[in-house]
């Protein structure tokens, strides 16, 4: 699989994003728990969204300029049900607010699931 690796995305809640703007960086629990921030390509975002956030309406989608990231990004397998060739980007450090190029509401459809991103 090939991906646009210049723009990556991260899903978080609006309060988490507001806190990140105050501190200058986003440190989700995964950074302390597993040592990285979960990212996705725009083409992949709906997969973790449906696994982790189905039905939630308090989310934002952060679009990140990967060229501005200082800490390394490792491309690693997702969960066993993902296609074998699919790798997800994992940021090995906090997500700097300065790398976020846009923030959009990220809501599921009427059935509670997230559709693939378009555009």
Does the pTM surpass 0.75? The reply is yes
Which region, left, alpha or beta, applies to residue 56 given φ > 0 means left and ψ of -120 to 50 means alpha? beta
Note the pLDDT of residue 1. Answer: 47
Rg (CA), the chain: 13
Does 3 score more than 60 pLDDT?
no
Does 71 score more than 80 pLDDT?
yes
Domain boundaries, the chain: 7-105
Structural contact between residues 11 and 53, judged by C-beta atoms closer than 8 angstroms: yes
Give CATH superfamily name and number for 7-105. Protein of unknown function DUF952 (3.20.170.20)
Note the pLDDT of residue 81. Answer: 81
Higher pLDDT, 6 or 94: 94
């Amino acid at each position: 699989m090939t991906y646009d690796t210049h723009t990556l995305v991260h899903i978080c809640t609006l309060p988490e994003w507001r806190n990140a703007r105050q501190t200058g960086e986003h440190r989700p629990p995964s950074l302390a728990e597993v040592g990285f921030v979960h990212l996705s390509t725009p083409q992949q975002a709906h997969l973790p969204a449906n696994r982790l956030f189905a039905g939630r309406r308090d989310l934002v989608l952060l679009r990140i300029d990967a060229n501005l990231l200082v800490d390394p990004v490792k491309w690693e397998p997702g969960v066993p049900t993902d296609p074998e060739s699919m790798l997800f980007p994992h940021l090995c450090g906090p997500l700097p607010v300065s790398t976020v190029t846009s923030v959009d509401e990220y809501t599921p459809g009427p059935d509670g699931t997230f559709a693939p991103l378009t555009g």
